[in-house]
């Protein structure tokens, strides 16, 4: 197992370097100049030339690439062309916001999507249950997250005044309290800070989670349908096991493998979903940052963010592969 | 069994809903925010807080809260003017008889934020020299190129020697873009200064939570007296829809929208709030490239102008008071502006002219690129339809804004749609868009903005720059506009003001919302005069 993990980690290194190279060249192939994007209609030819030189963009592409890769392997992604912040620092600050959003959305999607998928599969012959659930899935699939987000904001934030309109809460404060150990010293304050973060997180997580729940429910439904058509399920029923035991003991455990695959995919889908969710709910985060960086041709920031996204996806896929072995004893890694 | 699954599902849903309601009830707004007079602004995040280092509207808008210049746009008859100035950080000034040496006497006791001490002539010298020396990141050095040298006479006197007489020098010294005075002590480290700005304005920088907000605090020692507002919270809100919900909910008091459409204006009106309109704002206009076939033929250019229904475009884009139909290629409010005449909308005349020019069946403009952002795609789609009716088919491709800027500097489009604001005088405006030095040329790397490739007013621009009599200057620029009118190289569509929706039940502004501030700033000229009234 350890050998397998190490081998996978080693394979991940060239994958990551490959992804970084693709991103580097893709950003350069993209038409548009960072200086023109920054200076807009105020740009004079002289100012543009100065800007290009100051940002080091006048150097040959190969030199820029070598410089970027050399710095990146030392985890130095450079500085944002636009705002001047070190990219690593910037990403470190944004990452927790995106991380908790993806996690919360995953919880919502799993809590809603998996049961809905299972019930929909088990009750597929009962149109009174199956149809509404399929309509729910269809709605979730067709509703863009920004539209649902605005609806939630209008209803829960504007009309009912139950949730804040913008922001991510004092997550920096929470992290600082955890790091400094103040969470044990001031548990009351810590609880309030956590509550504040959750208060800000609820609507975005519901919006993103609900749209993802639809995908999860459809995939869970197919997984369950496949499992319950297996011989061992028929055998379990034939030997007189009660339905609950058939579902929980036999079917659910066996659908975990395809379900884990879904979760692996889900992280990639959720990461892309954060772009719109963070924009509509005006939350800080990697998604919004990445889109702004690409629009502004802020090369270091966009490259840094995509590298982090790639790392997340590689890590999640690795974890999913590990979990296959945990849920299915037939799978072993050597 | 099925009852069991359903009941577990229901229990999970009830638990989830209970948690949501608990969260909603458990986190009330902080009482602290209610005690203080806090102004909440929804805008986009600036790229820097160094006022000399950004051309973005939001960066320039927030700069006015923190920085001041030697002069400012004068208030006359209860309105902020465009082309007239009055002392701000300077107490007075004199100009040598040959028109090249300005001596500024500075106000005494003007303090920089956060204990950075009194503003002196050294700070003034530093503020301009950092831009002239092309310190990395500086954006407005070109506006100060007229300066030859700067000398500190004493802590409160500074002399600025010009290379030649500059008729708009006092406008250049306005607290706007290049004119802001920064603390030498703080800004010597340029990189650090980006997010640790120190100025003399009514508010000082407190903190920045990236992608979230910037907090400014009132500066008790502000030279104009302590503002009534204690704190300004500048939120990064990219979506206009969210901004509007926030205005209605009371989360925001002022909005800096991406664009004010009729829908936005209607919603603001329905809420019972006002929109503060500041001119001259940005002008949207077409430049016709006289070197690009078939637009090298004046008849084709005239046909183009006859084909375009300017009023229809303006009314579709900005109905009613959301913008004004442009009357000149130099906007009203700019020194030297005169009303120009443009070919009226007449498709028949357009077709006739095209036939005369050898295009009886019109022609096709291939691979025309347009920015996907701001007003560009909408205006061009409207123009495309109008041009199609006279036989000019434009095959449009929508591209990223940065790509568009790149393409138009490579002369790929035979006519260019463009928008912008400049120092409120005809000289910089005409120089940037009609001086032959600014003709973009990929071969030489010139990325100028004379998209018409026009060369016919170089003599007038030169004459205007050395003329000291304002009346004669006005006549020179009038002649320049007449030549542009004659040669049909520029077709202005709309003059779009800077527009900020405001909850006037909570925040009062000192000037009439309808163009009470007729000057350059992207935000309020005098933010220190804003007051929280509720």
Per-residue model confidence as pLDDT tens digits over B503-520:
999 999 999 999 999 877
Restricting to A residues 115-174, those with a Cβ less than 8 Å away from any Cβ of B are: 115, 118-119, 122-123, 150, 153-154, 156-158, 160-168, 172
Average pLDDT over residues B355-368: 96
Yes or no, beta carbons of A115 and B406 under 8 Å apart: no
**What pLDDT, on a 0 to 100 scale, did the predictor assign at position A44?**
62
Q: Any CB–CB contact under 8 A between B25 and chain A?
A: yes
Reported as a pLDDT band with limits 50, 70 and 90, residue B256 is very high
Residue where the block lists tokens 């001047």: A84
Q: In this structure, are residues B130 and B71 in contact, taking their beta carbons and an 8 Å threshold?
A: no
Task: Tell me what percent of the residues of chain A surpass a pLDDT of 70.
Answer: 96
- Nearest by CB: B242 against A47, A165, A284: A165
Reported as a pLDDT band with limits 50, 70 and 90, residue B7 is low
Give the separation between CA A119 and CA B63, rounded to whole angstroms.
58
Beta-carbon contacts below 8 Å between A and B? 188
- A101-120 pLDDT, tens digit per residue, is 998 998 888 888 888 888 88
Other beta carbons within 10 angstroms of residue A129's beta carbon come to 16
| Higher local confidence (pLDDT), A91 or B489 | B489
Element (H, E) at A290: helix A286-295
Give the separation between CA B43 and CA B117, rounded to whole angstroms.
31
Cα torsion angle, B351, B355, B357, B361, sign: positive
Taking the CA of residue A51 and the nearest CA in chain B, the distance in Å comes to 7
Q: What region does B260 belong to: left with phi over 0, alpha with psi -120 to 50, or beta?
A: beta
**What pLDDT, on a 0 to 100 scale, did the predictor assign at position B32?**
52
Q: How far is CA B480 from the centre of its chain?
A: 24
Write the DSSP string, A186-246: -HHHHHHHHHHHHHHHHHHHHHHHHHHHHHHHHHHHHHHHHHHTSHHHHHHHHTT--HHHI
Q: In this structure, are residues B272 and B505 in contact, taking their beta carbons and an 8 Å threshold?
A: yes
Element (H, E) at B160: strand B157-162
Q: Kindly identify which residue of chain B lies nearest to residue A83, measuring between CA atoms.
A: B47
Q: Any CB–CB contact under 8 A between A85 and chain B?
A: yes
Which three-class secondary structure state does DSSP give residue B215? strand
Most confident of the following: A26-30, B417-421, B513-517: B513-517
Yes or no, beta carbons of B2 and A243 under 8 Å apart: yes
Q: Kindly identify which residue of chain B lies nearest to residue A154, measuring between CA atoms.
A: B245
Record the pTM.
Answer: 0.80
Q: In this structure, are residues A281 and A51 in contact, taking their beta carbons and an 8 Å threshold?
A: no
**What pLDDT, on a 0 to 100 scale, did the predictor assign at position A7?**
83
Alpha carbon distances (Å) from A196 to A16, A154, A169, B203, B415: 36, 20, 6, 28, 53
Give the separation between CA B80 and CA B88, rounded to whole angstroms.
14
Least confident of A108-122, B94-108, B301-315: A108-122
The yes-or-no verdict on residue B103 having pLDDT over 70 is: yes
The yes-or-no verdict on residue B122 having pLDDT over 90 is: yes
Q: Kindly identify which residue of chain A lies nearest to residue B283, measuring between CA atoms.
A: A41
Yes or no, beta carbons of B5 and A167 under 8 Å apart: no
- Nearest by CB: A166 against B242, B407, B438: B242
Residue from B47, B52, B373 to probe the interface with A (highest A Cβ count within 10 Å): B47
Residue where the block lists tokens 């600014």: B438
**What pLDDT, on a 0 to 100 scale, did the predictor assign at position B381?**
96
The yes-or-no verdict on residue B20 having pLDDT over 90 is: no
Determine the Cα angle at B132 with ends B131 and B136, to 5°.
Answer: 50
Which chain B residues are Cβ-neighbours of A43 within 8 angstroms?
55, 405, 447, 449
- A142-158 pLDDT, tens digit per residue, is 888 888 999 999 999 98
Cα torsion angle, A296, A298, A302, A303, sign: positive
- Nearest by CB: B242 against A37, A41, A153: A153
Average pLDDT over residues B382-405: 92
Yes or no, beta carbons of A84 and B420 under 8 Å apart: no
Q: Kindly identify which residue of chain B lies nearest to residue A206, measuring between CA atoms.
A: B20
Question: What tokens does B45 get?
Answer: 């995040």
Reported as a pLDDT band with limits 50, 70 and 90, residue B28 is very low
For residues B214, B215, B217, B223, the Cα torsion angle rounded to the nearest 10 degrees is 10
Average pLDDT over residues A225-243: 85
Which chain A residues are Cβ-neighbours of B245 within 8 angstroms?
150, 153-154, 157-158, 165
A256-280 helix and A87-122 helix, angle to the nearest 10 degrees: 130
């Amino acid at each position: 197992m350890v050998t397998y993990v190490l081998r996978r980690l080693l394979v991940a290194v060239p994958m990551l370097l490959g992804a970084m190279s693709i991103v580097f060249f893709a950003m350069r192939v993209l038409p548009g100049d960072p200086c023109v994007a920054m200076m807009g209609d105020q740009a004079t030819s002289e100012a543009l030339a100065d800007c290009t030189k100051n940002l080091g963009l006048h150097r040959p592409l190969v030199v820029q690439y070598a410089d970027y890769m050399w710095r990146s392997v030392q985890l130095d992604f450079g500085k944002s062309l636009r705002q001047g912040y070190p990219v690593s620092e910037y990403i470190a600050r944004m990452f927790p916001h995106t991380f908790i959003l993806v996690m919360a959305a995953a919880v919502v999607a799993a809590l809603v999507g998996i049961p809905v998928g299972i019930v929909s599969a088990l009750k597929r012959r009962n149109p009174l249950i199956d149809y509404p659930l399929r309509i729910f899935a269809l709605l979730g699939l067709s509703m863009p997250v920004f539209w649902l987000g605005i609806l939630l904001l209008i209803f829960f934030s504007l009309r009912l005044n139950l949730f804040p309109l913008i922001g991510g809460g004092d997550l920096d404060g929470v992290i600082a309290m955890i790091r400094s150990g103040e969470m044990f010293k001031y548990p009351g304050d810590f609880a309030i800070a956590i509550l504040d973060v959750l208060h800000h997180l609820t609507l975005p997580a519901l919006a993103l989670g609900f749209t993802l729940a639809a995908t999860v429910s459809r995939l869970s439904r197919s997984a369950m349908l496949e499992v319950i058509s297996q011989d061992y399920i028929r055998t379990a029923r034939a030997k007189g096991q009660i339905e609950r035991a058939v579902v929980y003991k036999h079917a659910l455990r066996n659908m975990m493998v395809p379900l884990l695959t879904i979760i692996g995919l889900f992280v990639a889908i959720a990461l892309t979903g954060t772009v719109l969710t963070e924009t509509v709910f005006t939350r800080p985060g990697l998604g919004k940052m990445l889109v702004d960086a690409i629009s502004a041709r802020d090369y270091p920031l966009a490259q840094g963010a995509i590298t982090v996204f790639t790392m997340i996806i590689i890590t999640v896929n690795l974890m999913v592969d590990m979990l296959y072995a945990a849920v299915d004893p037939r799978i072993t890694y050597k | 069994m099925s009852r069991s699954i359903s009941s577990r599902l229901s229990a999970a849903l009830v638990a989830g809903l209970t948690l949501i309601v608990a969260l909603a009830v458990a986190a009330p707004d902080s009482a602290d925010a209610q005690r203080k007079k806090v102004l909440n602004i929804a805008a986009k995040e600036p790229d820097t807080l160094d006022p000399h280092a950004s051309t973005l509207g939001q960066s320039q808008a927030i700069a006015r809260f923190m920085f001041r210049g030697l002069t400012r746009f004068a208030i006359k008859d209860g309105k902020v003017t465009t082309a007239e100035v009055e002392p701000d950080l300077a107490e007075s000034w004199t100009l040598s008889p040959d028109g090249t040496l300005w001596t500024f006497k500075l106000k005494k006791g003007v303090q920089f934020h956060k204990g950075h001490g009194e503003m002196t002539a050294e700070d003034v010298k530093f503020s301009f020299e950092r831009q002239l020396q092309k310190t990395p990141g500086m954006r407005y050095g070109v506006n100060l190129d007229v300066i030859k040298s700067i000398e500190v006479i004493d802590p409160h006197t500074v002399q600025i020697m010009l290379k030649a007489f500059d008729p708009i020098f006092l406008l250049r010294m306005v607290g706007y873009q290049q004119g802001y005075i920064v603390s030498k002590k703080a800004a010597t480290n340029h990189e650090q200064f980006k997010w640790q700005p120190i100025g003399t304005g009514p508010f000082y920088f407190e903190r920045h939570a990236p992608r979230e907000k910037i907090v400014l605090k009132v500066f008790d020692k502000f030279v104009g007296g302590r503002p009534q507002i204690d704190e300004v919270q500048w939120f990064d809100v990219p979506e206009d829809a969210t901004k509007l919900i926030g205005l209605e909910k009371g989360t925001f008091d002022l909005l800096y929208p991406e664009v004010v459409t009729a829908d936005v204006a209607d919603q603001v009106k329905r809420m019972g709030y006002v929109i503060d309109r500041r001119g001259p704002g940005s002008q949207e206009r077409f430049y016709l490239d006289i070197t690009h076939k078939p637009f090298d033929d004046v008849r084709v250019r005239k046909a183009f102008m006859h084909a375009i229904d300017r009023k229809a475009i303006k009314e579709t884009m900005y109905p009613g008071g959301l913008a004004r139909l442009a009357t000149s290629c130099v906007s009203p409010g700019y020194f030297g502006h005169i009303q120009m005449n443009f070919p009226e909308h007449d498709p028949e005349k357009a077709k006739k002219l095209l036939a005369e020019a050898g295009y009886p069946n019109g022609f096709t403009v291939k691979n025309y690129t347009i920015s996907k952002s701001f007003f560009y795609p909408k205006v061009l789609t409207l123009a495309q339809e109008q041009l199609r009716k006279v036989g000019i088919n434009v095959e449009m491709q929508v591209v990223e804004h940065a790509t568009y800027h790149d393409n138009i500097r490579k002369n790929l489009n035979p006519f260019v749609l463009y928008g912008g604001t400049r120092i409120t005088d005809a000289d910089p405006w005409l120089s940037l868009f009609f001086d032959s030095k600014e003709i973009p040329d990929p071969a030489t790397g010139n990325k100028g903005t004379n998209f018409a490739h026009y060369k016919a007013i170089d003599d007038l621009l030169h004459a205007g720059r050395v003329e000291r009599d304002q009346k004669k200057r006005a006549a020179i620029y009038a002649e320049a506009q007449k030549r542009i009118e004659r040669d049909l190289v520029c077709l202005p569509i709309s003059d779009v003001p800077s527009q900020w929706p405001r909850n006037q039940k909570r925040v009062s502004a000192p000037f009439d919302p309808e163009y009470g501030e007729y000057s350059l700033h992207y935000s309020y000229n005098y933010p220190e005069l804003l007051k929280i009234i509720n």
